[in-house]
């Protein structure tokens, strides 16, 4: 676990069984705070004695006060109590003290079900972390993380806390009847200005074609500023800072927040016109592009979050040489990855037409669900269809339309036929490639795929969906089919299509992983997919849905004890291709 706000930690543990409490104190070394007037928030939770219930061939541990379950690959599923505290931006968490109540032991005879290992989406290969299952789990009685980001449209400090009233060790449970925490903090002010809402960053060749979008946004009270890269690098508005172009853009965004109050950032141009950051959080330590670098401006102390805390010019590193990355979004960021003036015109016209005309249409209330058996013979479920069902269950006001291998309609011509009728949203869960997507019939080894050229026969006109690609590679920003810049990654081809396609897409810039079982998505791509749709409400902006899903993920894995280890890669690789200020369903 990486505590982003912690400079140093001292932990004192006194471990006694019976009626003596275990006292846990965690002190942040943030300087001399004895003379500061601190505020204090106290949390006290009492827990019942754990119940052991049958769970098929396993045993299940239940504590009735708990509201969730620790889900960590290869570790026993145990009850936990989650809560999320938020504080105004500028708040500094100074100290957290915890006290554990009476600690007792209980022997269990059977095995507890374990969390499934994540799967690489392109191959179905099981990712085994190889952890030692013989040590006590979770290691601590509670865990937390700090971060600064957007919460209901305002910047806030997040403090998700997970309490673990039960720990497991060699068929023995250790449990406590209470956990109490005291959080000491101070509040300082953060500048509140509202000169602009939306900032469009582009190259000078696209400025003229973006003016209609600026005018349209301002007609709907979205105060908009268009800035070119030359103006950023040349210091027209703020003194340039940063070691390279990407960092100069990010420092500019920090200045734009503090001086203009921006919330939305549209990168208008492909990565050869407006650069993206290369990061090293991909599985195996490989590199990938991430526009999310521009969203995460601050760490928990409201300092600039460089994503290169070790200073070696390799950003977002994970593993032994990990960088401290806050990961909470301070801006809503999207990209229209245009490589020509004609593409800018096409996409701008699509955005304006959608926002002006989509509201109140019958087609918007359709939800297309696409999936199959993502990992044949891995288990007895069709993972993509399970994800589809969970998404349908949270989108109550939408008519579900299924395109699934079990229904024998997951075929290119059927996909085009159904999508051509229009939809407000499309949820796809399965495999993805730079040039399309595909999945399997149940327990079969041959894939049914849909490729970029098939878009020629997609005729949905102005009935444009927002698509979430729960898959690999569909938003690979540096891809060109056959080296042709007019045939980029599939997710962008959907958005730039002139006579239909999509109004916005969410996809991964590189290889993705997922964790899905019969109880639904548990981690990585599948988790973001479900929580993206859980975030929907009428009148929301599309980028807010994606950021809410990512923040849910960060808050749900508050500690290394419940961490699937792939969260950072997942959060960084899934990006929005489209206008971040897009009003979902259009304006009334």
Residue 250, C-beta contacts closer than 8 angstroms, at least 6 positions apart:
242, 293, 294, 297, 304
Largest CA distance in the chain: 74
Classified as helix, coil or strand, 339 is coil
Phi/psi for 217 (5° steps) reads -60, -40
Residue 17 confidence class, pLDDT cut points 50, 70, 90: very low
Q: Residue 122 pLDDT > 90, yes or no?
A: no
Per residue in 527-555, is it b (16+ CB within 10 Å) or e — as a string?
A: bbbbbbbbbbeeeebbbbbbbbbbbbbbb
Nearest in space to 80 (alpha carbons), one of 62, 104, 98:
62
Q: How far apart are CA 48 and CA 71, in angstroms?
A: 21
Residue 128 confidence class, pLDDT cut points 50, 70, 90: low
Q: Residue 308 pLDDT > 80, yes or no?
A: yes
**What pLDDT sits at residue 22?**
40
What's the chain's Rg over C-alpha atoms?
24
Model confidence pLDDT, tens digit, residues 559-571: 544 456 788 999 9
**What pLDDT sits at residue 427?**
98
Residue 321 confidence class, pLDDT cut points 50, 70, 90: confident
Cα-based distances in Å from 298 to 100, 325, 543:
33, 9, 18
**What pLDDT sits at residue 559?**
57
**What pLDDT sits at residue 572?**
96
What is the torsion angle, in degrees rounded to the nearest 10, for the CA atoms of residue 189, residue 190, residue 191 and residue 195? -140
Model confidence pLDDT, tens digit, residues 248-283: 999 999 999 999 999 999 999 999 999 999 999 987
Domains of the chain (ranges; CATH) run: 9-186 (2.60.40), 198-321 (3.40.50.10390), 359-577 (3.40.50.1460)
Which residues does residue 55 pair with via DSSP β-bridges, in sequence order? Answer: 58
Q: How far apart are CA 344 and CA 348, in angstroms?
A: 6
Q: How far apart are CA 163 and CA 522, in angstroms?
A: 19
Q: How far apart are CA 68 and CA 538, in angstroms?
A: 28
**What pLDDT sits at residue 10?**
26
Cα-based distances in Å from 114 to 38, 80, 321, 383, 477:
41, 15, 29, 18, 36
**What pLDDT sits at residue 562?**
47
**What pLDDT sits at residue 115?**
85
Higher confidence at residue 357 or residue 110?
357
Higher confidence at residue 153 or residue 468?
468
**What pLDDT sits at residue 564?**
63
Q: Mean pLDDT throughout 360-382?
A: 93
- The pTM score is 0.92
**What pLDDT sits at residue 133?**
53
Q: Which long-range contacts (CB under 8 A, 24 or more apart) does 398-401 make?
A: 398/365, 398/366, 398/367, 398/424, 398/425, 399/365, 399/366, 399/367, 400/367, 400/369, 401/366, 401/367, 401/368, 401/369
Residue 362: CB atoms within 10 A of its CB come to: 10
* Beta strand segments in 518-567, E: 520-523
**What pLDDT sits at residue 571?**
96
Classified as helix, coil or strand, 190 is coil
Q: Residue 395 pLDDT > 90, yes or no?
A: yes
Pairing mode of beta strands 448-451, 436-439: antiparallel
Q: Residue 493 pLDDT > 60, yes or no?
A: yes
Q: Do the beta carbons of residue 178 and residue 242 sit within 8 Å?
A: no
Model confidence pLDDT, tens digit, residues 519-548: 999 999 999 999 999 999 999 999 999 999
**What pLDDT sits at residue 14?**
24
Q: How far apart are CA 100 and CA 12, in angstroms?
A: 13
Q: Quick one: CA dihedral 534, 539, 542, 546, positive or negative?
A: negative
**What pLDDT sits at residue 285?**
76
Q: Mean pLDDT throughout 392-401?
A: 97
Q: Mean pLDDT throughout 89-101?
A: 91
Q: How far apart are CA 385 and CA 383, in angstroms?
A: 5
Model confidence pLDDT, tens digit, residues 133-192: 558 999 899 999 889 999 998 999 999 999 999 999 988 999 999 999 999 999 887 878
Q: Residue 380 pLDDT > 60, yes or no?
A: yes
Q: Residue 26 pLDDT > 50, yes or no?
A: no
Residue 1 confidence class, pLDDT cut points 50, 70, 90: very low
Q: Residue 324 pLDDT > 70, yes or no?
A: yes
Residue 480, classified by CB atoms within 10 Å of its CB into exposed (0-12), middle (13-18) or buried (19+), is middle
**What pLDDT sits at residue 284?**
74
């Amino acid at each position: 676990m990486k505590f982003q706000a912690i400079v140093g930690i001292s932990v004192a543990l006194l471990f006694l069984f019976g009626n003596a409490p275990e006292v846990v104190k965690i002190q942040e070394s943030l300087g001399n705070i004895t003379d500061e007037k601190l505020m204090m928030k106290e949390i006290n939770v009492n827990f019942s004695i754990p119940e052991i219930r049958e769970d098929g061939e396993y045993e299940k541990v239940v504590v009735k006060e708990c509201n969730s379950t620790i889900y960590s690959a290869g570790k026993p599923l145990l009850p936990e109590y989650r809560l999320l505290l938020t504080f105004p931006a500028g708040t500094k968490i100074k100290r957290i003290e915890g006290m554990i109540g009476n600690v007792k032991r209980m022997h269990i005879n059977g095995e507890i079900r374990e969390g499934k290992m994540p799967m690489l989406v392109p191959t179905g290969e099981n990712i085994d972390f190889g952890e030692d299952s013989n040590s006590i789990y979770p290691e601590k009685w509670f865990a937390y993380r700090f971060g600064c980001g957007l919460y209901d449209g305002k910047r806030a400090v997040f403090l998700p806390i997970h309490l673990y009233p039960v720990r497991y060790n060699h068929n023995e449970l250790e449990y406590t009847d209470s956990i109490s925490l005291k959080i000491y903090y101070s509040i300082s002010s953060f500048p509140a200005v509202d000169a602009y809402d939306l900032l469009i960053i582009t190259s000078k060749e696209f400025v003229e074609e973006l003016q209609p979008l600026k005018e349209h946004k301002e007609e709907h009270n979205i105060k908009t500023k268009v800035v070119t890269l030359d103006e950023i690098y040349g210091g027209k508005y703020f003194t340039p800072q940063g070691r390279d172009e990407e960092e100069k853009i990010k420092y500019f965004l920090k200045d734009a927040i503090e001086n203009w109050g921006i919330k939305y950032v549209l990168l208008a141009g492909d990565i050869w016109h407006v650069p993206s950051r290369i990061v090293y959080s991909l599985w195996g330590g490989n590199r990938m592009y991430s526009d999310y670098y521009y969203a995460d401006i601050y760490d928990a102390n409201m300092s600039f979050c460089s994503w290169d805390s070790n200073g070696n010019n390799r950003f977002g590193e994970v593993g032994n040489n990990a960088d401290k990355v806050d990961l909470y979004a301070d801006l809503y960021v999207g990209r229209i990855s245009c490589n020509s003036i004609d593409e800018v015109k096409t996409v701008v016209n699509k955005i304006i037409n959608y926002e002006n005309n989509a509201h109140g249409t019958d087609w918007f209330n359709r939800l297309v669900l696409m999936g199959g058996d993502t990992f044949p013979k891995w288990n007895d479920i069709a993972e993509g269809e399970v994800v589809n069902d969970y998404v349908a269950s949270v989108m109550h006001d939408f008519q579900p339309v299924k395109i699934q291998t079990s229904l024998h309609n997951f075929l290119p011509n059927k996909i085009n036929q159904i999508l051509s009728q229009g939809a407000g949203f499309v949820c796809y869960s399965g495999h993805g490639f730079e040039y399309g997507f595909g999945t399997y019939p149940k327990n079969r080894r041959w894939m049914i795929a849909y490729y970029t050229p098939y878009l020629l026969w997609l005729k949905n006109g102005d009935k444009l969906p927002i698509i979430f690609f729960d898959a690999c590679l569909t938003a690979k920003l540096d891809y060109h089919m056959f080296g042709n810049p007019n045939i980029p990654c599939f997710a962008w081809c959907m958005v730039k299509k002139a006579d239909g396609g999509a109004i916005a897409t969410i996809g991964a810039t590189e290889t993705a992983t997922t964790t899905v079982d019969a109880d639904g998505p548990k981690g990585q791509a599948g988790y973001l997919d479900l929580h993206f749709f859980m975030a929907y409400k009428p009148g929301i902006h599309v980028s807010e849905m994606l950021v809410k899903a990512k923040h849910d993920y960060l808050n749900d894995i508050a500690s290394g004890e419940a961490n699937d280890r792939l969260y950072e890669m997942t959060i960084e690789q899934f990006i929005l291709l489209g206008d971040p200020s897009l009003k979902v369903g259009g304006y009334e």
